Amino acid sequence: MTDLKNKVALITGSARGLGRAIAERFAGLGADIIINYSKDSFSANEAVVNIQALGVRVIAVQADISKPADIENLFAEAKKAFGKIDIVVANAGVELADVPVTDFTEEQFDRLFAINTKGTYFTIQCAAKNIEDNGRIINISSTSAAFPFPGFAVYGGSKTAPNYLVEVLAKEIGYRGVTVNSIVPYAVANAGIFTGMDTHTPELKWLSDMNPMKRMATVEDVSNAAVFFASNLSSFVSGQHLIVNGGGSQ
């Protein structure tokens, strides 16, 4: 079984949803955890309690990922608490669906690019500066960046640039044994805009119907990929984008 004991993992946007699922999965494999949240302190504290019950160390740090100064403080607090960082998952993001190119606003564009693009860029930059040798950097992308789809121009665009950054950084710090990869998931049930939603409703059932496996991705599907990239199993895999979409073309 994959073992993450004696590793320290920082996951942005991990108070709930996919980020929290990854944090709890890593904790279950023995990693100490830094939970990051922007506003939802209640969910962050709940995540901390759940992870403490797994017998590892955990802290929660508030940071707005759209602000580079907050990101720097997040990493500083993590190193202050644990002395090192071995794994970084750049997960924090916001979504925008079903907005045609002719309809998106400047406010929508600025918000998504501030968090999904700028925030991810500076998170990964901080990771490159602070991560231990032989560390793991993981970007959570989206199939919207791999398969253009109507209504997702802004969201998909904001998730595309970080994929390029992954490939560049893999070349720049590979000599340190650090791997840099992306996970590119299909729509994930009970995460992001689908958190708390019944995905079997007629309004959302089409997401399952159009997939070869006739379902949406789950947080477990993405967490499985995250464990692979966080562990020694992927020590010679870098600069890659793993599409987790059940074999679909979307």
**Predicted pLDDT of residue 199:** 72
Active-site pick, 14, 38, 66, 141: 141
pLDDT digits (tens, 9 = 90+) for 82-117: 999 999 999 999 999 999 999 999 999 999 999 999
Active site residue 141: yes
The tens digit of pLDDT for each residue in 164-177 reads 999 999 999 999 99
d(CA 51, CA 25): 9
Tens-digit pLDDT profile for residues 195-221: 777 777 876 788 888 899 999 899 999
Q: How many helices (H) and strands (E) does the chain have?
A: 8, 7
41 carries an active-site annotation? no
pLDDT tens-digit readout, 20-64: 999 999 999 999 999 999 999 999 999 999 999 999 999 999 999
Taking the model in full, what pTM does it have?
Answer: 0.96
- Of these residues, 144, 159, 234, 238, which one is catalytic? 159
Closest CA to 18 of 135, 109, 138: 138
Q: Tell me the pairing of strands 32-37 and 58-62.
A: parallel
The verdict on whether 38 is a catalytic residue reads no
Is 249 an annotated catalytic residue?
no
Show the tokens assigned to 109.
């564009």
The CATH H-level superfamily of 8-244 is: NAD(P)-binding Rossmann-like Domain (3.40.50.720)
Burial state string for 177-204 with b = 16 or more CB within 10 A and e = fewer than 16: ebbbbbbbbbbbbbbbebeeeebeeeeb
In the structure encoding, which two tokens stand for residue 106, read together? 């400047």
State the DSSP string of 41-57: HHHHHHHHHHHHTTTS-
